Homo-oligomer: A and B are copies of this chain.
Amino acid sequence: MSITNEDTEKPARKPRTRDAEATKARILEAAKKEFSKNGLGGARVDVIAEKANANKRMIYHYFESKERLFQTVLEDAYIDIRTAEQKLKLDDLEPKAALAKLVQFTWEYYLKNPEFITLVNSENLHRAKHLKKSEVIKVASRKFVNMVGDILERGASKGVFRPGIDPVQLNITIAAIGYYYLTNRFTGSIIFERDLMAKEAIDERLQFNVDTIMRLVCA
**Could you list which residues of chain A lie within 8 angstroms of chain B, going by C-beta atoms?**
38-42, 118, 120-121, 123-125, 127-128, 131-132, 137-138, 141-142, 145, 166, 168-169, 171-173, 175-177, 179-181, 183-194, 204-205, 208, 211-212, 215-216
Copies of the polypeptide in the assembly: 2
Give the docked Cα–Cα distance between A38 and B28 (Å).
24
Asked whether A212 lies within 8 Å of B124 as measured between CB atoms, the reply is: no
The residue in chain B whose Cβ has the minimal distance to the Cβ of A178 is B176
The residue in chain B whose Cβ has the minimal distance to the Cβ of A128 is B186
Asked whether B180 lies within 8 Å of A123 as measured between CB atoms, the reply is: no
Asked whether B187 lies within 8 Å of A168 as measured between CB atoms, the reply is: no
Asked whether B125 lies within 8 Å of A212 as measured between CB atoms, the reply is: no
Asked whether B128 lies within 8 Å of A187 as measured between CB atoms, the reply is: yes
Asked whether A128 lies within 8 Å of B193 as measured between CB atoms, the reply is: no
User: Which chain B residues border A176 with CB–CB below 8 Å?
Assistant: 176-177, 179-181
User: Which chain B residues border A193 with CB–CB below 8 Å?
Assistant: 138, 141-142
Give the docked Cα–Cα distance between A118 and B171 (Å).
22
